[in-house]
Amino acid sequence: MPLQQYIINDIKPLNIHDKVSDFKLLFNELTYSHIPVENDGIYLGCVSETDVHCFDNSKEISEFNYAIEGFFVRSFTTWLDVLEAFAQNSCNIMPVLNEQNTYLGYYELNDIIGLFNETPFFAEPGGILIIEKGINDYSFSEISQIIESNDAKLLGAFISKIESDVAQITLKIGNAGLNDVMQTFRRYSYNIVSGHEEDTYIENLKERSEYLKKYLNI
Protein backbone atom coordinates (compact mmCIF):
# COMPACT_ATOMS: atom_id res chain seq x y z
CA MET A 1 0.00 0.00 0.00
CA PRO A 2 1.89 3.14 -1.22
CA LEU A 3 1.99 6.01 1.25
CA GLN A 4 3.78 8.74 -0.71
CA GLN A 5 0.50 10.47 -1.50
CA TYR A 6 -0.06 11.00 2.24
CA ILE A 7 3.20 12.92 2.80
CA ILE A 8 2.45 16.47 4.00
CA ASN A 9 5.07 19.20 3.63
CA ASP A 10 3.30 22.35 4.79
CA ILE A 11 5.46 22.50 7.94
CA LYS A 12 9.19 22.95 7.48
CA PRO A 13 11.54 21.87 10.28
CA LEU A 14 12.67 24.65 12.58
CA ASN A 15 16.38 25.33 12.85
CA ILE A 16 18.34 24.12 15.84
CA HIS A 17 19.43 27.70 16.46
CA ASP A 18 15.85 29.01 16.66
CA LYS A 19 14.64 30.24 20.01
CA VAL A 20 12.51 28.11 22.29
CA SER A 21 9.86 30.83 22.01
CA ASP A 22 9.61 30.10 18.25
CA PHE A 23 8.86 26.47 18.98
CA LYS A 24 6.25 27.37 21.60
CA LEU A 25 4.57 29.75 19.17
CA LEU A 26 4.35 27.04 16.51
CA PHE A 27 3.03 24.49 18.99
CA ASN A 28 0.32 26.95 19.98
CA GLU A 29 -0.79 27.14 16.34
CA LEU A 30 -0.76 23.38 15.75
CA THR A 31 -2.13 20.24 17.35
CA TYR A 32 0.99 18.14 16.81
CA SER A 33 2.87 16.41 19.61
CA HIS A 34 6.29 17.11 18.04
CA ILE A 35 8.05 19.55 15.68
CA PRO A 36 10.94 18.51 13.37
CA VAL A 37 14.35 20.11 13.85
CA GLU A 38 17.10 20.60 11.22
CA ASN A 39 20.56 22.09 10.92
CA ASP A 40 21.89 23.31 7.57
CA GLY A 41 19.17 21.35 5.80
CA ILE A 42 19.92 18.10 7.63
CA TYR A 43 17.12 16.52 9.66
CA LEU A 44 18.16 16.00 13.29
CA GLY A 45 14.98 14.76 14.94
CA CYS A 46 11.93 16.09 16.74
CA VAL A 47 11.25 17.90 19.98
CA SER A 48 8.06 17.33 21.92
CA GLU A 49 5.63 19.96 23.06
CA THR A 50 5.89 18.65 26.62
CA ASP A 51 9.65 19.23 26.71
CA VAL A 52 9.60 22.61 24.97
CA HIS A 53 7.21 24.12 27.51
CA CYS A 54 9.77 23.35 30.22
CA PHE A 55 12.54 25.36 28.51
CA ASP A 56 13.55 29.01 28.80
CA ASN A 57 12.03 31.10 25.99
CA SER A 58 15.19 33.11 25.41
CA LYS A 59 17.46 30.12 24.80
CA GLU A 60 18.12 28.29 21.54
CA ILE A 61 16.81 24.78 21.16
CA SER A 62 20.44 23.75 20.50
CA GLU A 63 21.05 24.09 24.24
CA PHE A 64 18.65 21.19 24.76
CA ASN A 65 20.13 18.67 22.33
CA TYR A 66 19.35 15.86 24.76
CA ALA A 67 15.63 16.45 24.18
CA ILE A 68 15.81 15.88 20.40
CA GLU A 69 14.26 12.51 19.49
CA GLY A 70 15.69 11.08 16.27
CA PHE A 71 12.70 9.09 15.01
CA PHE A 72 11.61 9.01 11.36
CA VAL A 73 10.46 6.63 8.63
CA ARG A 74 11.51 6.24 5.00
CA SER A 75 9.35 7.08 2.02
CA PHE A 76 9.23 3.35 1.22
CA THR A 77 8.39 2.17 4.76
CA THR A 78 5.24 0.04 4.78
CA TRP A 79 2.12 1.45 6.40
CA LEU A 80 2.11 -1.15 9.19
CA ASP A 81 5.71 -0.27 10.12
CA VAL A 82 4.78 3.42 10.01
CA LEU A 83 1.89 2.74 12.39
CA GLU A 84 4.28 0.88 14.70
CA ALA A 85 6.68 3.85 14.63
CA PHE A 86 3.85 6.14 15.73
CA ALA A 87 3.05 3.84 18.65
CA GLN A 88 6.67 3.40 19.74
CA ASN A 89 7.32 7.15 19.83
CA SER A 90 3.95 8.28 21.25
CA CYS A 91 3.54 10.94 18.59
CA ASN A 92 0.97 12.09 16.02
CA ILE A 93 3.46 13.38 13.44
CA MET A 94 6.08 11.21 11.72
CA PRO A 95 8.91 12.77 9.63
CA VAL A 96 9.60 11.08 6.30
CA LEU A 97 13.10 10.85 4.78
CA ASN A 98 14.22 9.46 1.43
CA GLU A 99 17.21 7.17 0.87
CA GLN A 100 19.54 10.19 0.83
CA ASN A 101 18.22 11.25 4.27
CA THR A 102 16.51 14.29 2.76
CA TYR A 103 13.46 15.49 4.68
CA LEU A 104 10.38 15.10 2.47
CA GLY A 105 7.60 15.98 4.89
CA TYR A 106 5.62 14.07 7.45
CA TYR A 107 2.71 11.70 7.99
CA GLU A 108 -0.24 12.45 10.23
CA LEU A 109 -1.34 9.68 12.57
CA ASN A 110 -5.02 9.99 11.58
CA ASP A 111 -4.18 9.41 7.90
CA ILE A 112 -2.33 6.18 8.67
CA ILE A 113 -5.07 4.93 10.98
CA GLY A 114 -7.55 5.72 8.20
CA LEU A 115 -5.65 3.33 5.92
CA PHE A 116 -5.94 0.62 8.55
CA ASN A 117 -9.71 1.12 8.60
CA GLU A 118 -9.82 0.48 4.85
CA THR A 119 -8.23 -2.98 5.12
CA PRO A 120 -10.43 -6.10 4.86
CA PHE A 121 -9.97 -6.61 8.58
CA PHE A 122 -12.36 -3.70 9.15
CA ALA A 123 -14.02 -3.11 5.77
CA GLU A 124 -15.21 -6.63 4.94
CA PRO A 125 -18.28 -8.11 6.69
CA GLY A 126 -17.52 -10.77 9.25
CA GLY A 127 -17.17 -11.50 12.92
CA ILE A 128 -14.41 -10.82 15.44
CA LEU A 129 -13.27 -13.77 17.50
CA ILE A 130 -10.67 -13.63 20.28
CA ILE A 131 -9.00 -16.89 21.30
CA GLU A 132 -6.11 -17.77 23.56
CA LYS A 133 -3.71 -20.65 24.11
CA GLY A 134 -0.27 -21.29 25.57
CA ILE A 135 2.40 -19.30 23.79
CA ASN A 136 4.22 -22.49 22.79
CA ASP A 137 1.06 -24.41 21.88
CA TYR A 138 -0.70 -22.33 19.21
CA SER A 139 0.25 -21.89 15.57
CA PHE A 140 -1.18 -19.70 12.85
CA SER A 141 -1.17 -22.62 10.44
CA GLU A 142 -3.40 -24.57 12.84
CA ILE A 143 -5.65 -21.54 13.36
CA SER A 144 -6.05 -21.09 9.59
CA GLN A 145 -6.78 -24.80 9.14
CA ILE A 146 -9.48 -24.74 11.82
CA ILE A 147 -11.20 -21.75 10.24
CA GLU A 148 -10.99 -22.99 6.65
CA SER A 149 -12.10 -26.52 7.59
CA ASN A 150 -15.42 -24.93 8.58
CA ASP A 151 -15.76 -23.24 5.15
CA ALA A 152 -14.96 -19.85 6.64
CA LYS A 153 -12.44 -17.24 5.48
CA LEU A 154 -9.71 -15.70 7.61
CA LEU A 155 -9.69 -11.96 6.87
CA GLY A 156 -7.06 -10.99 9.44
CA ALA A 157 -5.24 -12.14 12.55
CA PHE A 158 -2.86 -10.63 15.05
CA ILE A 159 -1.53 -11.31 18.55
CA SER A 160 -3.36 -8.81 20.71
CA LYS A 161 -1.94 -9.79 24.10
CA ILE A 162 0.72 -11.98 25.72
CA GLU A 163 0.52 -12.55 29.45
CA SER A 164 1.76 -15.35 31.74
CA ASP A 165 2.88 -17.46 28.77
CA VAL A 166 -0.59 -17.27 27.21
CA ALA A 167 -1.06 -15.68 23.78
CA GLN A 168 -4.32 -13.98 22.88
CA ILE A 169 -5.12 -13.85 19.16
CA THR A 170 -7.73 -11.62 17.58
CA LEU A 171 -9.31 -12.99 14.39
CA LYS A 172 -11.61 -11.51 11.74
CA ILE A 173 -13.63 -14.28 10.13
CA GLY A 174 -16.01 -14.03 7.18
CA ASN A 175 -18.21 -16.12 4.91
CA ALA A 176 -19.71 -18.37 7.61
CA GLY A 177 -21.29 -18.46 11.04
CA LEU A 178 -18.85 -18.51 13.90
CA ASN A 179 -20.50 -21.21 15.99
CA ASP A 180 -18.91 -24.20 14.23
CA VAL A 181 -15.55 -22.43 14.18
CA MET A 182 -15.69 -21.82 17.93
CA GLN A 183 -16.62 -25.40 18.70
CA THR A 184 -13.66 -26.62 16.65
CA PHE A 185 -11.31 -24.24 18.46
CA ARG A 186 -12.53 -25.67 21.76
CA ARG A 187 -11.84 -29.22 20.56
CA TYR A 188 -8.27 -28.09 19.83
CA SER A 189 -7.99 -26.73 23.41
CA TYR A 190 -8.24 -23.04 22.54
CA ASN A 191 -10.02 -20.85 25.05
CA ILE A 192 -12.68 -18.56 23.59
CA VAL A 193 -12.20 -15.12 25.13
CA SER A 194 -14.81 -13.13 23.22
CA GLY A 195 -18.51 -13.84 23.32
CA HIS A 196 -20.71 -13.98 20.23
CA GLU A 197 -24.42 -14.16 19.64
CA GLU A 198 -24.03 -17.39 17.66
CA ASP A 199 -22.08 -19.17 20.38
CA THR A 200 -24.51 -21.92 21.42
CA TYR A 201 -21.91 -23.68 23.58
CA ILE A 202 -22.35 -21.32 26.53
CA GLU A 203 -26.13 -21.29 26.13
CA ASN A 204 -26.20 -25.09 26.17
CA LEU A 205 -24.13 -25.13 29.35
CA LYS A 206 -26.56 -22.68 30.97
CA GLU A 207 -29.54 -24.78 29.96
CA ARG A 208 -27.96 -27.96 31.32
CA SER A 209 -27.06 -26.17 34.54
CA GLU A 210 -30.65 -25.00 35.00
CA TYR A 211 -31.91 -28.51 34.23
CA LEU A 212 -29.51 -29.99 36.82
CA LYS A 213 -30.66 -27.51 39.46
CA LYS A 214 -34.31 -28.40 38.82
CA TYR A 215 -33.47 -32.11 38.95
CA LEU A 216 -31.65 -31.77 42.28
CA ASN A 217 -34.55 -29.80 43.74
CA ILE A 218 -37.06 -32.54 43.00
Distances in whole angstroms, Cα of residue 24 to Cα of each of 15, 49, 52, 107: 14, 8, 7, 21
pLDDT band at 128 (very low <50, low <70, confident <90, very high): confident
Domain boundary among 101, 116, 131: 116
* Tens digits of residue pLDDT in 60-108: 999 999 999 999 999 999 888 998 999 999 999 999 999 989 999 999 9
How far is 14 from 116, CA to CA, in rounded Å? Answer: 31
Let me know whether 35 and 54 are in one domain: yes
Most confident region among 4-18, 163-177, 197-211 by mean pLDDT: 4-18
Let me know whether 165 and 69 are in one domain: no
pLDDT value of residue 114: 84
Let me know whether 41 and 130 are in one domain: no
Check if the beta carbon of residue 153 is closer than 8 Å to that of residue 179: no
- The answer on pLDDT for 218 being more than 80 is no
- The answer on pLDDT for 205 being more than 80 is no
How far is 128 from 218, CA to CA, in rounded Å? Answer: 42
Let me know whether 132 and 98 are in one domain: no
Q: Domain range for residue 182?
A: 120-217
Note the residue count of the chain: 218
CATH of the domain at 23: 3.10.580.10
CATH of the domain at 126: 3.30.70.260
Number of domains observed in the structure of the chain = 2
* Tens digits of residue pLDDT in 15-52: 999 999 999 999 999 999 999 999 998 999 999 999 99
Domain boundary among 96, 116, 136: 116
Let me know whether 37 and 52 are in one domain: yes
Let me know whether 103 and 157 are in one domain: no
109-132: average pLDDT? 83
- The answer on pLDDT for 165 being more than 60 is yes
pLDDT value of residue 119: 76
Let me know whether 112 and 49 are in one domain: yes
Among the listed residues 92, 90, 70, 73, the one whose alpha carbon sits nearest the alpha carbon of residue 3? 73
Let me know whether 134 and 210 are in one domain: yes
pLDDT value of residue 86: 94
pLDDT value of residue 178: 85
Let me know whether 108 and 162 are in one domain: no
Domain boundary among 56, 88, 116: 116
